[in-house]
Every structure is written in structure tokens, then in C-alpha cells.
Structure 1
């Protein structure tokens, strides 16, 4: 584990920071570790299957365009569209052709030769020596879903009035129901009132989305909003499964 603090006018140079970590990881992946277990000595070999970052750090480590730029999404080849200075979207009507590891490596070489990004790739990534890019770099749902989507929904429910989705007038009733919940110890903490959501941790948003939100709000939100909320909660339940059947994946 590497703990570090970077001081300077610019963002850190990722190869400089990660080089000692990558070197240690490569050694773990190529050599065996002998461990004494109740069943006897075991030879253990490490393998890196995934690397997770928030969006700004991901772009820095992968040496790609930021998420809000053209070709900023590393999983597909879509260019995306700018809705505003701060909104870059990938429309569901587009033909989403997926990227491959070999293409990402090829585009890194082309970007270095051209001196400019190619399909959003600026150049080689130090991470490509130990992880499959893009398949080994999953989406960080803590920031993307919990602290972005769920927090944004709660902001609209609690702080907006005179809208069909507003819960402003029901906050006291929802808080009363919320504070009566007695979760098991695995949830690590008791629920807090929804009007304190701005101070919640990601773990609180997670429990709220996966377990509390639909039972709490089903009597207050119109059916169409509850239906879409169910889609989000069920989608996250499925994506967080360690194994999934073909039927449920459909």
C-alpha cells in the first residue's frame, strides 16, 4: 500500500507515483508466495483483475481525455455530445461499439506519434502492463451512482417544492419512518433523517438506495417516479451481485 501527499501547481505525474507500485505488483504476479495454512503449505500467486478510480483519477492514470470531453468514455467508441459547458452525454440512440484492449494499445501508439489524442487516448498508460484496459477498469459506482445520482435525486425530493416529485411537505413523516428502522449490524450505523442527506457518507446512500428508498417513498411519490426508482435500485442490485443467472441478466 502506498500512501502519499502531492504538493504542486499541477496534477501529479501518474507514472512517477505509480512506478514503484506497478513494480511491486508485477513481482507479486510473477512469483509465488508460500503460506502456511491449516491444510499445509500453499503456493499463492497474485493476479490483478481490476483497478478502480474516480473519474478524474481514472483519466490521469489511463492517460485519456477527461470524462466530460469527446471520446471521454473508455468503454465504447462513441464521441458523445456536449449539452453545455459542463454536460457531456452519450445518447442511448447511438450505436455503441465497444473498445478492445488491442485497440487501446494501438491508439496510445498513434496518439504519441501524432502528438494529439486519438479516440480520447493521449498515450501509453503505465497501468496497461498489469491490467486489461478497458475491461479491467470498472465504473466507480460510489461516485457515479451513490454520491452523484442518489444525492441529486434527494436534493430534488427534499429541497424542491411545487413539483410532482417533491417530497418537501412529507419530510417530517418520512423522517419519522426512517428513524424507526432498526437495521442489522452489517449496515454499520443507524439511519439518519433525509434532510441531513448533504452530510451522508457513501455507505449511507448505498443502504438507502438498495434497502430503504422504495418502502419509504412508495406512499409519497407518484407511481411513475416509484417505477423509475425501482429500475435504478434493481439495476444496482444486479450489478453488485457476485454471480448472476442468465435469466436475471436478461
Structure 2
């Protein structure tokens, strides 16, 4: 194993340690991994830049499991059948010839796999897996959004990405969120919130695609109220009272049967 491989392996283990314990002092990490305090700080800086953890005074913290968004692979495995059903339903809202904006969520990645059925489309996205998927599809004109790359999300995030979004106008936006609490959407990453808000400002129609478990979770950063969305696509696991409340506030709700 060369020096760079050893560094990546150490950072992976250090990341897992912080997330598992919730909070770890920098000095303890340096001692545990046999590295200098300066090296520990550099490792934490790199992991924070990638979106895995947060540096705080004296150490680093990982968000609780109810808030930590997880890697793309982790998220793809959660509620997979329901997400597939939601993607199928959301695809029925597409109209050939539209300009579509797509966020970095795994549910919308599944939706991207259905875009070719509704071509021609122009697609604007910050999601690297979506770019890889759509680049092969005839009839799809693809616009990618640059910025800082976050491996934890496999997407481009932050101020520069948000600025790039504002250069465009889309007919429809499809996006998801980490959590919905008391009629408001939340996310775990401020950089993600920046981009999603810019996307919402740049779309004529906004569609939120979220499975019912999102309504039982908490999030750290407020994104937007549900009333800012024209349509909510959700599975039938969401309580009837919650569905009625969303509709009463003026948002159309498409209820999708669970597989």
C-alpha cells in the first residue's frame, strides 16, 4: 500500500470512527491512529470538505443516524421498492420537450432512468450518477452543474453550484428532501440547501418526491415549506391526516401504492 492509499484508508477509518461515536476529540484521534495533531486536523478538514462530518471546537462530530444523510449506496438501499414506485409515478408528470431540473437525491436518480421514455428532454442536474446515466441516452440534452464535488453525495454542491443553477430556467423541478417536519422540508447539509433553494427559484413547477418515512425524521437545516411545492409525490404509507393537511394548504398530492 503506497502513501496515498494508506492516507485514504486511514481517513475512511477515521470517518467511520467519528460517525459511530458521534463526537471524538482531535487529540484522541491523533493518539488512536498514531498520527500528529496537525495530520489529524488535515484529515478532518478533508472529510468535512467531502461532506462526511463537521469539525467543532476540540474535535469533530457526526450527525445522528436520523439526520445523517448517508452515502449514495446507503440511501439507494433504503425504501428501494417504494422509491422505484415513486419514480414511476413522477415520470408520468413529464412532457416531451420540457426542460427538467433534477436534484442529487437517489429517488430522482431512479427517475432519471425513465427520462428516455419521455424524450426529447433537456435535463439540468448536479448529480454525477444522473449525468452518467443520461449521457448515454439519445433524445436527452444534458446540462451539468459544476461546483465543489462532495463524494458523500456524489454530487456538486455549494455556492458555485447554486450560482450556476440561477443561469437557467426550467419547466419543472424534481427533488427530494431528508426530512419533513410540521409542514417544512429539512436537510442535513447547508451546501445542499443552497443548491436546492436555487433550483426551486429557477423552476416554473416544483415536484417533491418523498417516501413516507421522510415525514418521521428530523433535519438540521430548514429548506422550504411544503406549500412552496406544486406537487408532492408520496407513497400510501403516509397517514391520511397528513395527506389531507398537505392538500388543505394548496399542494397537489399524488399518492402512490406501495409495492
**Same fold, TM exceeding 0.5?**
no
Higher relative contact order (CA 8 A, sep 6+): 2
Relative to total residues, which structure has the larger strand share, 1 or 2?
2
TM-score (norm 1): 0.31
TM-score (norm 2): 0.30
Relative to total residues, which structure has the larger helix share, 1 or 2?
1
